[in-house]
Amino acid sequence: MSQKKAAQPKHIPVRMCIGCREALAKRAPAMSQKKAAQPKHIPVRMCIGCREALAKRALIRVVRGPDGVRIDPSGKASGRGAYIHNQRACWEKSLSGALAQALKSEISTGDRDALVSYMSRLDPGPQQKPDPATSAGGTA
Ligand SMILES: [Zn+2]
């Protein structure tokens, strides 16, 4: 009476690939976990300068936090936020009123200076002709 329990190889479900007709373990570890490329939901925000709706990632977030109004590069800072294009024209419009309105807050001189210096690093945009000589501040 010997109960011989042979070490059976574990049963692995095998299926045949209809492409190459090769029989393979059902859960092939390689490359089968690629999810179908679904159209990803893209969050859209409006630029407060030109009021154009764009993908959130294409805009720069400005947030009114406990320390004042500042750029939020992570886009995750808590507080009331506003989105602005990375174009100078939109920043100029924003700083001349739209931003304060969007954030429902006055922008302090120090914060404004920081935003202006950020703006000055942006691309002037296609509308203005590149003229480095016009750096003298003379806006009416
Ligand atoms: Zn804009």
- Going from the Cα of 25 to the center of ligand 1, the distance in angstroms, rounded, reads 54
pLDDT of residue 24: 82
pLDDT of residue 13: 83
9-44 tens-digit pLDDT: 677 788 888 889 888 888 755 554 566 677 788 889
- Going from the Cα of 83 to the center of ligand 1, the distance in angstroms, rounded, reads 9
Alpha-carbon span 51 to 59, nearest angstrom = 12
- Going from the Cα of 85 to the center of ligand 1, the distance in angstroms, rounded, reads 4
Judge whether residue 8 has pLDDT over 90: no
- Going from the Cα of 18 to the center of ligand 1, the distance in angstroms, rounded, reads 52
- The token pair at 106 is 């006055």
- Going from the Cα of 49 to the center of ligand 1, the distance in angstroms, rounded, reads 5
- Going from the Cα of 91 to the center of ligand 1, the distance in angstroms, rounded, reads 8
Cα dihedral 6, 12, 13, 19, rounded to 10, equals -130
- The token pair at 126 is 């296609």
Q: How far is CA 108 from the centre of its chain?
A: 27
Judge whether residue 128 has pLDDT over 70: no
pLDDT of residue 39: 77
Q: Fill in the DSSP letter of residue 62.
A: E
Domain boundaries, the chain: 44-120
> Which residues have a beta carbon within 5 Å of ligand 1, which is an ion?
47, 49-50, 85, 90
Q: Which class is 44-120 in CATH?
A: alpha beta
List of residues 6+ apart from 125 with CB closer than 8 A? 87, 88, 89
69-114 tens-digit pLDDT: 999 999 899 999 999 999 999 999 999 999 999 999 999 999 999 9
pLDDT of residue 9: 67
- Going from the Cα of 137 to the center of ligand 1, the distance in angstroms, rounded, reads 23
44-69 tens-digit pLDDT: 999 999 999 999 888 999 999 988 99
The pTM of this model reads 0.60
Q: Read off the pLDDT band of 127 (50, 70, 90).
A: low
